[in-house]
Amino acid sequence: MSANGSPAGQQPTATYDSAFLKACRREPVPHTPVWFMRQAGRSLPEYHKVREGIPMLESCTRPELVAEITLQPVRRHHVDAAIYFSDIVVPLKAIGVDLDIKPGVGPVVAHPIRTRADLAQLRDLTPEDVWYVTEAIGLLTAELGPTPLIGFAGAPFTLASYLVEGGPSRTYENAKAMMYGDPELWADLLDRLAGITGAFLKVQIEAGASAVQLFDSWAGALAPADYRRSVLPASAKVFDAVAGYGVPRIHFGVGTGELLKLMGEAGADVVGVDYRVPLDEAARRIGPGKALQGNLDPTVLFAGKDAVETKAREVLDAAAGLEGHVFNLGHGVMPSTDPDALTRLVEFVHTESER
């Protein structure tokens, strides 16, 4: 169990009994908990201020800076959970993969993985490789008090999409060509990434994260049969690796309406839903025994207070019959979002859902 995720740990009850963790466990809540994917980062002026002159990946290795950036949206918006500030490529960088995050582009890999020999770039991850994560989470759990901290990682498919393509892609043609054309190499690549990802999530939970989210952002590019055969086993291995801790495991992807059931089956306790499928319909597709997270279209935040409230109420109404609901956006906060719109949305969801 995590340090603050179980009644047996330190400062246990307040965090364990938070609305966010209760909703993840499908227990009754005093109000619907809210957090936002990408809540830490470019929508906040205080983020730009502390990041000035520090490259993205370097900022992820400075524990005090990570803690400060992680706390900024909690202080400002009063969200019900913090998400650890990092990026999905940080564990890959930590084991020596030559990559960078280019502003306005995303992760770029120097030597894309295309052959079996290229797999040698991926060794196992040890806690020492990511010492700064353990240190930052130590600082954070002390500062956060009862507010839970969500750890995260990129799922094997989404990581593979960057490693094989060499950078962001719209079509994933190289990654999917490997998946269809050399299924053995593909399976070995995903299995290796699953080992790294499982180890990375363990580090975060051992350090004090109260929940974890696996981002398979780009899994929506796959047909269900291909997802089941070529991706699900690796994601299931990641969820299995952390099953024993008893912390909620969230599974999210974009454009995954046809995959929601399988993403639950991979081993998630909470399934993240993007804005394309209403939550009541998502619950029918996923079946019983899972909480849902989502799913306001992030562009609604550009439409003014009345539209935000109307659309947020629609999300809450669709979630009314769910076993557990964590309010979130259907994808990350867009960088040009007005932060005040986010603060107002948190307050609206809390007030509107109070029971």
Tell me how far apart the alpha carbons of residues 111 and 299 are, in angstroms, rounded to a whole number: 35
Q: State which amino acid sits at residue 115.
A: T
Smaller CB distance to ligand CP3: residue 105 or 177?
A: 105
Q: Is 162 annotated as a binding residue?
A: yes
Cβ proximity of 248 and 25 under 8 Å: yes
Smaller CB distance to ligand CP3: residue 26 or 164?
A: 164
Q: From 192, 164, 191, select the one nearest 178 (Cα to Cα).
A: 164
Q: Is 80 annotated as a binding residue?
A: no
Tell me the window of 16-24, 105-113, 224-232, 236-244 that interacts with ligand CP3 (CB under 6 A).
105-113
Q: State which amino acid sits at residue 5.
A: G
Cβ proximity of 112 and 174 under 8 Å: yes
User: Is residue 203 involved in binding ligand CP3 (CB under 6 A)?
Assistant: no
User: Is residue 62 involved in binding ligand CP3 (CB under 6 A)?
Assistant: no
Cβ proximity of 337 and 297 under 8 Å: no
User: Is residue 156 involved in binding ligand CP3 (CB under 6 A)?
Assistant: no
Smaller CB distance to ligand CP3: residue 152 or 348?
A: 152
* Smallest separation, CB 318 to ligand CP3 (Å): 22
Catalytic residues: 38, 42, 51, 87, 162
Residue of the chain from 24, 34, 66, 83 that contacts ligand CP3 (CB under 6 A): 83
Report the interhelical angle of 183-207 vs 232-241 (nearest 10°): 20
Cα 324 from chain centroid (whole Å): 18
Q: Is 42 annotated as a binding residue?
A: yes
Residue of the chain from 85, 186, 239, 275 that contacts ligand CP3 (CB under 6 A): 85
User: Is residue 113 involved in binding ligand CP3 (CB under 6 A)?
Assistant: no
Residue of the chain from 3, 37, 203, 283 that contacts ligand CP3 (CB under 6 A): 37
Q: Which residues, in sequence order, are bridge partners of residue 293? A: 272, 326
Length reported for the chain:
355
Smaller CB distance to ligand CP3: residue 26 or 144?
A: 144
Report the interhelical angle of 156-165 vs 173-181 (nearest 10°): 110
CB atoms under 10 Å from CB of 155, counted, come to 30
Where do contacts with ligand CP3 occur on this chain (CB under 6 A)? 37-42, 56, 83, 85, 87-88, 101, 103-107, 152, 158, 215, 217, 332
Binding site listing for substrate:
38-42, 87, 162, 217, 331
